[in-house]
């Protein structure tokens, strides 16, 4: 069965979804998450867990420095005493802490752009990591081939802005300092050759760039047939109303006999990212 | 005072030729990619035969050879990996540098004695991550470039593993492994060696109404190069195992210049730590050979606008490299050299090399291969003679005298 995990836009939104047909949530945690609008502290997460029996995953995907480790240890210890479903992690330190402190947290391997093949899924599976969030830079065929060759439970990011870039530098702040102007809130990065705007923003003193929203609603049926365990849809930078339409479409798409064409028309976004496109790397042959 | 442990000076070797120059100019170890599985898919890279030759050559001089096997694999990329690792081991490779732990897995089975280092692509920034990899049999970690002096210090103390840090060369502006601009802009996979360096492009920044910010200066993410020349002493004191120079695609001139400077910095400090005095002049020489400013980046503070480039960088080709010494004629006290860039009579030139103290002279005359006087060395790879009363050696380098 393919389950739908939603990354809500805020706390109220999450509460409103508790009685919906989504199977679970992905929640950011204060100061340690990137690319998720909803970030809570440990107590708030506990509160969510007391309100719902749905699956709740917490994301800790920021790069971690020595100075973060004490807080991270404390957070992981606190979370290990709850019944959260799992932790999406990026930094390898989290595995070591989980092992050394015997926290028995269910970890989800989610190194942003590195979850790209089944061999490595199997490596982590042997290390006791049972879930993996696949990278958005691999094709649908790659995804199904991974599924066929691993016992790891797999998550596919099917809707939402696509994270492309993360820098520890404050690139927007630096630019405004250089041109001697005042920085405001919202900016886009414009690339003249492609005549395209990209979302760019700073958060926690780092800089992020996003690619347009991917929408794999037409692929839901095939993903279901191939027994992918989870579909993730992310409300990052969405208004609640706008994202609710998306959530409903995906809920319906997962039902048998869904009219996918009609749902796809409703969302009117045909960006499938790399689902049908392979990246290349050798330019000279 | 205890004797200081000399760190390894690790240099890039884009091909066999560059490797020989790196070793000649003072590298303790070299690294390069094979023809597959390496993050510079479009560098020359070495065949297994060449890798064998490289190892033989390096080991003759008691130097070490590391091969990068550091892509993030897609399903189909792992074909033949096992045989490749066996080939590397049998060629005498001293260690491989990996990023994807699938290589670790296959390596442990196929060639359990192979030494394995973890690439900067895994973006290791803390000691708990180091401890995980140490338990997995990794013996050395190339730290993420975002680490500061304090970070490195604590990691060396608590990480239970050898640490390698970059000391010179180009930088990624994004966290390594976490940037896929290249994938989305050009379809070239950054984590499989196809990075098209989108971060070096110029952009416009627009406000929330998609209106360009009013200024003549383009938005830029381009960062200056890294140079740790002024902090080599501190890195040695921190007990960093290996100091790494970036630049597998760089020229022989660049490699030789950069290595010889860091070789000197390391040797000067280690041989006489009490009286060590940093020579700031090196910074200018490092700048000249790349036409890029190089700064310490994250070592002492978080880099800001000062560590970036905004206005179009001067990308003119470097004409400082004048020639390579082929021979020294003791009788006539003449240097026989192969020309690399134009120079003429009365030009001021500088000679440097691993076995001489750098010195400068004026070109009193130039003779061509027929021993006839000419006013200039005009032709690439032309063989000419110039007078010099100091002994120089084959493969010393002749460059423009910057300080004249």
Q: How many residue pairs bridge chain A and chain B with CB atoms within 8 Å of each other?
A: 223
| Same fold yes or no, B8-175+223-307 and B321-400 | no
* Residue bearing tokens 């809920």: A251
Residue B40 has a pLDDT of 75
Asked if A187 and B220 come within 8 Å (Cβ–Cβ), the reply is: no
Residue extents of the structural domains in chain B: 8-175+223-307, 321-400
Residue B158 CB contacts under 8 Å (≥ 6 apart), including other chains: B127, B130, B131
How far does B177 lie from chain A, in Å, by closest CA? 7
Termini Cα distance of chain B:
40
- Best of A66, A136, A149 to mutate (most B CBs within 10 Å, chain B): A66
Asked if A116 and B191 come within 8 Å (Cβ–Cβ), the reply is: yes
Cα B233–Cα B235–Cα B237 angle in degrees, nearest 5:
70
- Best of B44, B69, B102 to mutate (most A CBs within 10 Å, chain A): B102
Q: How far apart are CA B144 and CA B17, in angstroms?
A: 29
Task: Tell me: pLDDT of A281 over 90.
Answer: no
Task: Tell me: pLDDT of B25 over 50.
Answer: yes
Asked if A92 and B187 come within 8 Å (Cβ–Cβ), the reply is: no
Q: Which among A113, A55, A52, A112 is positioned nearest to A86, based on CA atoms?
A: A55
User: What is the CATH architecture of A3-161+215-267?
Assistant: Alpha-Beta Barrel (3.20)
Mind listing the pLDDT tens digit for each residue in B289-305?
Answer: 887 889 999 999 999 99
Mean pLDDT of B232-248: 96
Mind listing the pLDDT tens digit for each residue in B158-170?
Answer: 998 999 999 999 9
Residue B146 has a pLDDT of 98
Q: Average pLDDT of chain A?
A: 96
Contact A3, A24 (CB under 8 A): yes
Mean pLDDT of A203-220: 97
Task: Tell me: pLDDT of B41 over 80.
Answer: no
| Two structure tokens written together for A26 | 């992905």
What does pTM read for this prediction?
0.95
* β-bridge partners, A201: A208
Residue A185 has a pLDDT of 86
Q: Which residues of chain A lie closer than 8 angstroms to B43, CB-CB?
A: none
Q: How far apart are CA B254 and CA A194, in angstroms?
A: 34
Residue in A63, A99, A189 nearest the CB of B125: A63
Q: How far apart are CA B225 and CA B170, in angstroms?
A: 5
- Best of B85, B125, B130, B224 to mutate (most A CBs within 10 Å, chain A): B125
DSSP state of B241: S
Cα B178–Cα A105–Cα B157 angle in degrees, nearest 5:
60
Residue in A92, A179, A185 nearest the CB of B132: A92
**Separation in Å, CA B49 to CA A44, B33, B46, B106:** 60, 13, 8, 22
- Percent pLDDT > 70 in chain A is 99
* β-bridge partners, B351: B359, B398
Q: Which residues of chain A lie closer than 8 angstroms to B79, CB-CB?
A: none
A185 touches chain B (CB under 8 A): yes
Q: Which residues of chain A lie closer than 8 angstroms to B147, CB-CB?
A: 65
Q: How far apart are CA B162 and CA B243, in angstroms?
A: 11
How many helices (H) and strands (E) in chain B?
A: 10, 22
Mean pLDDT of B79-98: 97
Q: Which among B385, B247, B308, B132 is positioned nearest to A107, based on CA atoms?
A: B132
Residue in B177, B184, B215 nearest the CB of A179: B215
Mind listing the pLDDT tens digit for each residue in B179-206?
Answer: 999 999 999 999 998 899 999 999 999 9
> Which 3 state secondary structure label does DSSP give B37?
coil
Asked if A280 and B127 come within 8 Å (Cβ–Cβ), the reply is: no
Q: Which residues of chain B lie closer than 8 angstroms to A279, CB-CB?
A: 183, 187-189, 192, 194
How far does Cα B334 stand from its chain's mean position? 33
Interface of A with B in 231-270 (CB under 8 A): none
Q: Which residues of chain B lie closer than 8 angstroms to A175, CB-CB?
A: 205, 219-220, 305, 310
| Two structure tokens written together for A277 | 């496109």
Task: Tell me: pLDDT of A164 over 50.
Answer: yes
Q: Which residues of chain A lie closer than 8 angstroms to B298, CB-CB?
A: 168
Residue extents of the structural domains in chain A: 3-161+215-267
**Separation in Å, CA B333 to CA A207, B336, B344, B373:** 59, 10, 19, 16
Q: How far apart are CA A199 and CA A210, in angstroms?
A: 5
Residue in B100, B188, B201 nearest the CB of A281: B188
Task: Tell me: pLDDT of B316 over 80.
Answer: no
How far does A164 lie from chain B, in Å, by closest CA? 5
Who wins on pLDDT, B136 or B250? B136
| Two structure tokens written together for A264 | 């796809």
Q: How sure is the predictor about B311, in pLDDT bands with cuts at 50, 70 and 90?
A: confident
The DSSP string of A86-115 is EEEE-STHHHHHHHHTT----EEE--TTT-
The DSSP string of chain A is -PEEEEE-SSHHHHHHHTTSS--EEEEEETTT--S-S-EE-HHHHHHHHHH--SEEEEEE-S---GGGHHHHHHHHHHHHTTT--EEEE-STHHHHHHHHTT----EEE--TTT---HHHHHHHHHTT--EEE--TTS-HHHHHHHHHT--SEEEEEEEEEEEEEEESS-HHHHHHHHHT----S-EEEEETTTTEEEEEEEETTEEEEEEEEEE-GGGHHHHHHTT-SEEEEE-TT--HHHHHHHHHHHHHHTSTT--HHHHHHHH-----TTTT---B-----
Strands A107-109 and A131-133: parallel
How far does B386 lie from chain A, in Å, by closest CA? 41
CATH of domain B8-175+223-307: 3.20.20.70
Residue A280 has a pLDDT of 86
Residue A252 CB contacts under 8 Å (≥ 6 apart), including other chains: A258, A263
ipTM: 0.96
Q: Which residues of chain B lie closer than 8 angstroms to A140, CB-CB?
A: none
CATH of domain B321-400: 2.40.30.10
Minimum CA–CA partner of B127 in chain A: A66
How far does A155 lie from chain B, in Å, by closest CA? 17
Mean pLDDT of A248-271: 94
Asked if B308 and A174 come within 8 Å (Cβ–Cβ), the reply is: yes
Cα B191–Cα B192–Cα B196 angle in degrees, nearest 5:
75
Interface of A with B in 94-113 (CB under 8 A): 95-97, 99-100, 111-113
Contact A214, A273 (CB under 8 A): yes
Q: How far apart are CA B15 and CA B32, in angstroms?
A: 7
Minimum CA–CA partner of A282 in chain B: B41
| Two structure tokens written together for A262 | 């009609």
Mean pLDDT of B83-99: 97
Termini Cα distance of chain A:
43
Asked if A69 and B185 come within 8 Å (Cβ–Cβ), the reply is: no
Asked if B185 and A191 come within 8 Å (Cβ–Cβ), the reply is: yes
Q: How far apart are CA B78 and CA B69, in angstroms?
A: 11
Task: Tell me: pLDDT of A284 over 60.
Answer: no
> Which 3 state secondary structure label does DSSP give B110?
helix
For the beta carbon of residue A195, count every other beta carbon within 10 angstroms.
7
Mean pLDDT of B74-99: 96
Task: Tell me: pLDDT of A285 over 50.
Answer: no
């Amino acid at each position: 069965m393919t389950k739908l995990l939603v990354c809500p836009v805020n706390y109220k939104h999450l509460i409103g979804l508790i009685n919906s047909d989504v199977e679970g949530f992905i929640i950011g945690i204060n100061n340690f998450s990137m690319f998720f609008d909803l970030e809570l502290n440990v107590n708030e997460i506990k509160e969510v867990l007391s309100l719902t029996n749905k699956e709740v995953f917490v994301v800790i995907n920021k790069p971690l420095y020595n100075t973060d480790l004490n807080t991270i240890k404390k957070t992981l210890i606190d979370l290990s005493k709850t019944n959260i479903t799992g932790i999406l992690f990026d930094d390898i330190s989290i595995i070591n802490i989980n092992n050394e402190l015997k926290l028995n947290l269910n970890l989800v391997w989610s190194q942003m752009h590195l979850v790209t093949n089944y061999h490595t899924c199997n490596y982590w599976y042997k290390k006791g990591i049972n879930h993996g969030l696949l990278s958005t830079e691999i094709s649908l065929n790659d995804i199904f081939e991974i599924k066929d060759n691993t016992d790891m439970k797999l998550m596919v990011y099917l809707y939402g802005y696509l994270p492309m870039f993360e820098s520890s530098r404050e690139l927007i702040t630096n630019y405004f300092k250089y041109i001697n102007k005042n920085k405001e809130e919202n900016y886009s990065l414009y690339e003249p050759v492609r005549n395209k705007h990209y979302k760019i923003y700073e958060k926690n003193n780092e800089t992020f760039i996003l690619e347009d929203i991917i929408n794999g609603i037409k692929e839901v049926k095939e993903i279901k047939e191939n027994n992918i365990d989870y579909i993730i849809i992310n409300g990052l930078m969405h208004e609640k109303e706008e994202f609710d339409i998306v959530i409903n479409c995906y809920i319906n798409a997962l039902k048998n006999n869904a009219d996918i064409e009609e749902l796809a028309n409703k969302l009117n976004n045909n960006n499938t990212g790399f689902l049908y496109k392979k990246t290349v790397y050798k330019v000279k042959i | 005072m205890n004797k200081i442990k000399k760190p390894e000076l690790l240099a890039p070797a884009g091909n066999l030729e560059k490797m020989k120059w790196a070793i000649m100019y003072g590298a303790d170890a070299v690294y390069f990619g094979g023809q597959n599985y390496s993050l510079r898919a479009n560098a020359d890279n070495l065949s297994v035969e060449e890798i064998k030759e490289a190892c033989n050559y390096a080991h003759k001089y008691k130097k070490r050879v590391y091969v990068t096997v550091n892509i993030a694999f897609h399903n189909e990329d792992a074909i033949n990996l096992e045989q490749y690792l066996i080939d590397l081991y049998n060629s005498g490779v001293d260690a491989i540098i990996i990023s994807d732990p699938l290589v670790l897995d296959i390596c442990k089975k196929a060639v359990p004695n192979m030494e394995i280092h973890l690439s900067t692509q895994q973006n290791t920034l803390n000691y708990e991550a180091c401890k995980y990899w140490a338990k997995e049999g990794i013996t050395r970690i190339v730290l993420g470039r975002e680490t500061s002096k304090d970070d490195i210090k604590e990691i060396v103390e608590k990480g239970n593993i050898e640490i390698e840090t970059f000391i010179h060369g180009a930088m990624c502006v994004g966290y390594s492994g976490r940037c896929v601009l290249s994938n989305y802009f050009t379809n070239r996979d950054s984590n499989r060696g196809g990075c098209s360096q989108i971060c070096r492009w110029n952009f416009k920044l627009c406000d929330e109404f998609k209106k360009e910010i009013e200024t003549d200066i383009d938005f830029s993410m381009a960062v200056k190069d890294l140079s740790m020349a002024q902090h080599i002493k501190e890195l040695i004191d921190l007990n960093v195992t290996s100091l790494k120079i970036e630049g597998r695609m760089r020229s022989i001139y660049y490699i030789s210049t950069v290595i010889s400077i860091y070789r000197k910095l390391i040797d000067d400090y280690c041989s006489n730590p009490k009286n060590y005095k940093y020579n700031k002049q090196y910074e200018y020489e490092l700048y000249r050979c790349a036409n890029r400013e190089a700064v310490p980046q994250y070592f002492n503070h978080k880099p800001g606008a000062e560590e970036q480039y905004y206005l179009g960088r001067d990308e003119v080709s470097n004409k400082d490299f004048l020639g390579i010494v082929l021979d020294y004629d003791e009788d006539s006290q003449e240097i026989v050299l192969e020309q690399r860039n134009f120079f003429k009579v009365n030009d001021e030139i500088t000679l440097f090399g691993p076995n001489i103290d750098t010195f400068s002279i004026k070109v009193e005359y130039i003779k061509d291969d027929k021993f006839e006087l000419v006013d200039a060395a005009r032709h690439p790879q032309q063989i000419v003679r110039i007078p010099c009363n100091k002994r120089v050696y084959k493969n010393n380098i002749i460059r423009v005298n910057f300080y004249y």
